[in-house]
Chains A and B, each alone.
Chain A
Amino acid sequence: MGAGIASGGPLSGKIRRMPAVEIQNVTKMFRDVTAVDQLSLTVSEGAVHGFIGPNGSGKTTTMRMIANILHPDSGTVRVFGEERTTTRSAIIAYLPEERGVYRKMKVRALLEFHGELRGGRNVTAEVISWLERLDLAHCAEQKVETLSKGMSQKVQFIATVVPEPKLLILDEPFSGLDPVSTDVVRSAILDLRRRGCTVILSTHDMNMAQTLCDSIVMIFRGKKVLDGTLESIQASYPSDTIRVELESGTFALGSLPGIDRVNDLGKVQELRMAAGCDAQQVLQALAARARIVSFSVIKPSLHDIFVRIAGPQHEVAAVA
C-alpha cells in the first residue's frame, strides 16, 4: 500500500507555532470577479507551505496580498504579526509566476540591483555565493539576454533570495526548469528552510507539493478547500483507491463492478471504489479477467484529491 507518498515533509509534526502569515476573512475583487472570497489561513514559521489549485483559483492574488503588492478589499493580512499597508521590507521576497528581468543588464549587476532594492547592503558576496551555488558563476558578467531560459530563471530565483528573506513566496518556481535545475532550486529552497526561512510556494506539480511541502493549502474559486499536512488531508479521505497493473493493460477494466471511475496513468491504473465496495471482490473480479502484476489499496493521492475537488464534477464543498 501507499503511493510512495512521503510523510508530510521532514518537519511534519514539529512545525513551530508562531504564525509567519495570518490571513483573516480576506476578500479581493477585480471589478465583478471575486478572486479571493472570505479566505482565512495561517502559515507557520519555518516551514514550506504549498498553495495548490487550478488556474484562476486565487493563489496568485493571495500571494500578492501577502507580498503587499495587492491590498484586500476586506479582511486582514498579517505578516510576522504586522499588518502592512504600503511599505516593502527586506524580510519578504516574492518570485512571481510571470516574471522578467532587465535583459540588457549584466547578471551580477542585475542581482546587486535587485538585492539593494530589497534593502540589502553590500550584497556582492551573497550574489557571488548564490551564482556559484546555482552554477552560474561563469555568467556573472554576461548580459541576461544571452542566457538560456533555464539559466535566466535561476537568475530570477537568486534575484528573489538576495538578501536572504524571512518569508519567501514563490509562484510556480519550477515552471520551465529542467530536472537538474529543478533539483538545484528545490535543494536551495530546503536549505533556506533549514536556516529558518518560511516558504510559500504555488505549484501545479502535485508530486512536488507532496514531497517538498510541510503543509498544503488548496484554493478553489477563491475559497480554501484544503488545509493541512498531506497526512491530515489524506486522512479525511477513505482508502477507496486501488492501484493496479495488469498484463493486458486497461482491457479488463471495463464495467468492473463496484468501480466508479478508472484513471489510466499509463503503465498502472487507479480505480476509485464506490461506497461499500469491497477491495477483495474487485481483486477476485479482476483475477477472473486478467493476470494481475500488482494490486494495492491506497489513500487517494494529492493529484487525485485535487481532481476530485476541481475536476468537472467536483465533490467537496469548501472546508472551514
Chain B
Amino acid sequence: MRRILLIAKRDYLQAVTSKGFIIGLIMFPLIIGGSGLLIAVMNRGNAKTQRVAVVDHTGIAAAAVIQAGINLTRRNNAAPGSGIDTGAPFSFEEIKPEADEDAQLLALSDQIRSGRLSIVLDIAADALEKTRDSKTPAVRYYTNSAGFDATNGLMTGAINEGLRRVRLERLNVDSAQIAEVLRNVPITSMNLVKKDAATGKFVPGEKKGPVPAGVVPYFLVILLIMVAMTGVMPNLSVIAEDKMQRVFEMLLASATPFDLMAGKVLASLGASLTSSAFYVAAGLAVMTGLAALQMAPLNLLPWFFVYLIVDVVMLSAWSAALGSASATPQDAQQMAFLLILPIMIPMFLLTPIIQQPNGTMSIVMSFFPPFTPVVMLLRQALPGGVPWWQPWVGLVGAIAFALLVIWAASRIFRIGILSQGKTPKLPELLHWVWEG
C-alpha cells in the first residue's frame, strides 16, 4: 500500500500542477458560461423578422390564421419561456392562389431558398370541410429550417386557432363568444405535493421557478462527465509516453504492475475530486450570492461524489490498460474512443432521459453499470426522482463492474507495459485478459 500511495502522490502532484489541469480548471466554467452567452447572442441575432406567406385556397381562412399567428407571437413576446419560443418574430402576409399551383409553389420555394421568405403555409381548398379526404394534407408547411426550432409548433397553433375561428363564424357564433371560446388559459407549473415525513402534514406543491427543473440536474451531470474525463483522459497518453520512454522498466524493479496501476488510478481520482470539489464549492458560492441556494441539489451531492469515484476508478483503470497497450501516445489517442464510450453514449441521450426519466430506456440505462453513474444521477436529480432502492442497486452493480474492470485492466497492464512493437488489436487485448 505504501508503494501505491507513493506512486499516487507523485502522479497526483504532477497532474494537478500541470498547465493543462490548471488551464482546464479555469476554462471549463468559462466554456460553459461562454456557450450560454453565445447562444443568447445568437438568439438575439435570430430575432430578425421571418416572413410567413399564407396561400389560402379556401378564400376565407387567411385573415383568421394570420391574426391567430400574430396573437401567438405577441403572447410569446409578453411572457418569453412560457409558451412556444421560436426566438424570432414573424410577419404574415396573404398570397392569392394562382392558377398554376405548382409554378406558384416553386416560385415561393425559390424565395425561401434565397432567404427572402421563411415559411409558406399552403391551405387546401377543402381544409375547412368535415368530409375532406384525410389522405391529402389540409395544410402544407414549407420551410428550409432543419426542424430543431419551435416554429412548427407555433404555426400549428396559428393554423388551428385560425381555422377553428372560421368554422365557428360559419356556424354563426357571435364574434365575442368566439373570442371567449378561444381565450388562452395559461397553466402554472407546480412542484408535486408531499407529506412531511416528520409531522405527517400535507405540504402543498410550490410554484416552479423560471429556471426549468432539468437545468440544475443537467449541469450536475455535465460536471460529472467533464470532471471524470479531465481526470482520466490524460492517463492514456501519459502512460503510453512513460512506456515509450521505458520509465516502467525502471519502476517495475520496485513496484508490481498492480502497484503502478493502482497508484495511477488513485492519482486520477485525486485530480478529479480536486477539480469537482473546486467546482461544487464555486457553484454553491455563486448560488448563495444569487440567493438561489434553494435550487442547489444539496441532497444529491453525496451521490454525485460516490458516482464520481466509481466512474473515475472504472475509467482510469481502463485508460491505464489502454495506455499500457499502446505502442505510442498517438496510438493511445486512437484508442480514446474505447475509453469515452461509457461517458459519451449517456451524454448523447441526456435529452430523452430528461424528457422521460422513468421511461423504460432511462431505467434500463441507469442499471447498465458503465452508464449508471451518469444516468442514475440524472434520474435522481430530476423532479420526481427514483424509488429509493434504485440508486443503491445501481451503485452495487457499478461497483461490481468497476472491480471487474480493474481486474481485467490489471491483466492487460501487466503485459502491456513490457510489450513492445505494434499496438494490439481488441481481440489480442481480450486474449491478454484471458491469459493474464
Contact = CB atoms under 8 A, between A and B. Distances in A.
A88 B418 CA distance: 17
Nearest to A96: B249
Contacts of A98: 246, 249
Contacts of B254: 88, 114, 117-119
Contacts of B252: 67, 69, 94, 96
A100 B246 contact: yes
A93 B253 CA distance: 6
Interface in B241-285: 242, 245-247, 249-256, 259
B395 to A, nearest CB: 31
A94 B253 contact: yes
B13 to A, nearest CB: 10
A113 interface: yes
Given A88-B3, A88-B255, A104-B14, A114 B245 contact: no
A215 interface: no
A88 B250 CA distance: 13
Contacts of B246: 96, 98-100
B416 to A, nearest CB: 14
B6 A156 contact: no
A92 B245 contact: no
A203 interface: no
A160 B249 contact: no
Size class of the B contact interface (CB-based, 8 Å): 10 to 19
B45 to A, nearest CB: 46
Contacts of A88: 3, 253-256, 259
Interface size class of A (residues with CB under 8 A): 20 to 34
Nearest to B243: A100
B75 interface: no
A101 B250 contact: yes
Contacts of B116: none
Given A113-B10, A117-B6, A117-B7, A102 B247 contact: yes
Contacts of A169: 253
Interface string B205-230: 00000000000000000000000000
A103 interface: yes
Given A86-B256, A88-B255, A117-B3, A100 B250 contact: yes
A159 interface: yes
Nearest to B11: A102
Contact of A156 (B242, B250, B255): B250
B405 to A, nearest CB: 21
Contacts of B418: 69
A172 interface: no
Nearest to A69: B252
Interface string B168-211: 00000000000000000000000000000000000000000000
A116 interface: yes
B247 A100 contact: yes
B253 A69 contact: yes
B267 to A, nearest CB: 13
A63 to B, nearest CB: 10
B407 to A, nearest CB: 15
B3 A114 contact: no
Nearest to A118: B254
A21 to B, nearest CB: 15
A239 B14 CA distance: 60
Contacts of B251: 114, 117
A35 to B, nearest CB: 12
Identify the 7 closest CB pairs spanning chains A and B, nearest first. Answer: A94-B253, A100-B245, A100-B246, A96-B249, A117-B254, A118-B254, A98-B246
Given A96-B252, A102-B14, A169-B253, 4 more contacts: A100-B246, A101-B250, A104-B14, A117-B254
9 contacts: A88-B254, A88-B256, A96-B246, A96-B253, A100-B250, A101-B247, A102-B14, A113-B10, A169-B253
Interface of A: 67, 69, 86-88, 92-96, 98-105, 113-114, 116-119, 156, 159-160, 169
